[in-house]
Amino acid sequence: MDKFVIKGGRRLTGEVSISGAKNAAVAILPAVILSDEPCVIENVPSISDVVISLRILEEMGAEVTPAGHDAYRIDPTKITKCCVPYETARKMRASYYFLGALLGKFNKARVSMPGGCPLGDRPIDQHLKAFTALGADYTLSQGMIDLKASKLTGNQIFFDVVTVGATMNAMLAAVKAEGLTVIENAAKEPHIVDLANFLNSMGANIMGAGTDVIKIRGVKHLHGTTYAVIPDQIEAGTFMVAIAATKGDAIIKNVIPKHLESITKKLEKIGVNIEQFDDSIRVWVDSPLVKTNIKTAPHPGFPTDMQSQIAALLTLAEGTSIITENIWDQRFGYVDELRRMGADITVNGKVALIEGTGKLMGAPVKACDLRAGAALIIAGLAASGITEIEDIYHIERGYDCMEGKLRALGADIEKVSVPDKPAAKEAKKSSVNRAADNHQPAAAAAV
């Protein structure tokens, strides 16, 4: 198992460039299945969720070949299988996008119930609502979801909750359905718009992505395309917070400032200076950080995927901050680990009360999910002394070479391999070859 070892107290300065968006890439790669010709996808982040997605495509029979830096040529015309097995699908949440893509292309799909970060209850009822509205039948047995449709017909889909995943899956299943599909109460995240733009670049007819009503007119044929994934809003936000936590001064390149608005506004309230340029921002701190209150919400609200990171920053701010997590039941897993570093945080249900102590001390800690891991890195960078972070595979699912980018900004962070403890070795074996550690698709391995 690998761990990060961080010697805190170094200011982050200089420049960092943001990679492609994880939550866009993991939807766009399955969406290639819908094309009748090869596609080239650019600005793909080197993260384990992408490795798994590419491997699933290869296992189905698609041809995946590198096409330059962070780019892949994918030929879906050779796909022969419409199934995503348990041992692969369980490794990430986004495996459920293969449901929508396979159903949209072949009128059938068989995918294991998805995995992903342990954030509490993560139902898929709204995904199934969308698929059945379009004419599919589903069965759930032995942890597998089976979808079948004699044909897919456009329909009205009104989501009971705002859901990124189900909005994406509804688009994937509807792009070739006969007639008009109207998705209401749709999610509006940047990665929703990115998927719609990708599908339209293949000849789909999708209007309204980014608003809460998306209209899709089914088309018979989707052609090949070359498409670049948008920059990662959450990676950019994570670096904004890390620079602020170390009282640094740095430029974050390859961003879309508009996507960062809610994060920028909150950081400015905390006392962080942010200057925006066309595709970059400067972040610096020249005064004490002050408390603020955060309520997570669907886009354009404050992203739940930034909640852990900003909590780490607020432990350094003067005063009492309140964080309300409105999306996930259990997204405070990082709190116990921050407490080990001297943070004073009280959690009651959806609300965390943070007494800013102004300082943190290095300690051995564990990442329990992707963004919790990011929060611990931020805390370790700001803390005095050494912080060792275990279970960093969570972090590597969603951040492209985090330690390399931080080192380039002046951080003292190393990735260290430690021999698996017997229990951990068993756990690793039972996780059936975690794709990112043991198996990589030929293409990705060549990167």
Residues that bind ligand EPZ in the complex, under the rule CB under 6 A: 22-23, 26, 93-94, 117, 121-127, 161, 163-166, 187, 304-305, 327-328, 370-371, 398
Nearer to ligand EPZ, 4 or 302 (CB): 302
* Other residues' Cβ atoms within 10 Å of the Cβ of residue 265: 12
Tokens of residue 409, six digits = 């900004």
Give the closest residue to 61 by CA, choosing from 107, 99, 22, 102: 102
Question: Which amino acid, 195?
Answer: L
| 75 versus 194: smaller Cβ distance to ligand EPZ | 194
| DSSP string for 427-446 | HHHHT-S-HHHH---HHHHH
Q: Closest separation between CB of residue 388 and ligand EPZ, Å?
A: 23
CA atoms within 13 A on the CB side of 132: 12
Which one of 39, 82, 117, 368 is the catalytic residue? 117
Which is it for the CA torsion 163, 165, 168, 170, positive or negative?
negative
Our CB check for ligand EPZ shows the closer of 26 and 343 to be 26
Residue 145 or 285 with smaller CB distance to ligand EPZ = 145
What is the phi/psi pair of residue 138, to 5°?
-130, 150
What's the CA gap between 47 and 343, in Å, rounded? 30
Least Cβ distance, residue 122 to ligand EPZ (angstroms): 5
Q: Which is nearer to ligand EPZ, 98 or 284 (CB)?
A: 98
Q: How far is the CB of 137 from ligand EPZ (least distance, A)?
A: 17
Whether residue 111 contacts residue 84, with contact meaning beta carbons closer than 8 Å, is answered with yes
Nearest C-alpha neighbor of 32 from the set 68, 63, 67: 63
Nearest position to ligand EPZ, beta carbon:
165
User: Residue 37 contacts by C-beta under 8 Å, 6 or more apart in sequence?
Assistant: 77, 223, 224
CB of 305 to ligand EPZ, least distance (A): 4
Closer to ligand EPZ at the Cβ: 75 or 189?
189
CB of 247 to ligand EPZ, least distance (A): 26
Query: Shortest distance, CB of residue 370 to ligand EPZ, whole angstroms?
Result: 5
Q: Which is nearer to ligand EPZ, 326 or 431 (CB)?
A: 326
Nearest approach in angstroms of CB 121 to ligand EPZ is 6
Closest CA to 265 of 254, 251, 276: 276
Shortest gap between Cβ of 433 and ligand EPZ (angstroms)?
21
Task: Give 239 or 284: the residue with its C-beta nearer to ligand EPZ.
Answer: 239
Is residue 306 within 8 Å of 237, Cβ to Cβ? Answer: yes
Q: Which residues contact 395 (CB under 8 A, 6 or more apart)?
A: 4, 367, 370, 373, 374, 377, 389, 402
- For 47-79, b/e burial (b = at least 16 CB within 10 A) is bbbbbbbbbbbbbbebbbeebeebbbbbbbeeb
Strands of 373-444, DSSP E? 386-390, 412-417
Q: Give, as one character, the DSSP assignment of residue 266.
A: H
- 368 in active site: no
To ligand EPZ, the closest distance from the beta carbon of 350 in angstroms equals: 11
Rg (CA), the chain: 21
H-run or E-run covering 424: helix 422-430
Give the H/E segment covering residue 340.
helix 335-340
**Which of 161, 445 has the CB closer to ligand EPZ?**
161
Residue 144 phi/psi, 5° resolution? -110, 145
Q: Indicate which residues carry an active-site annotation.
A: 117
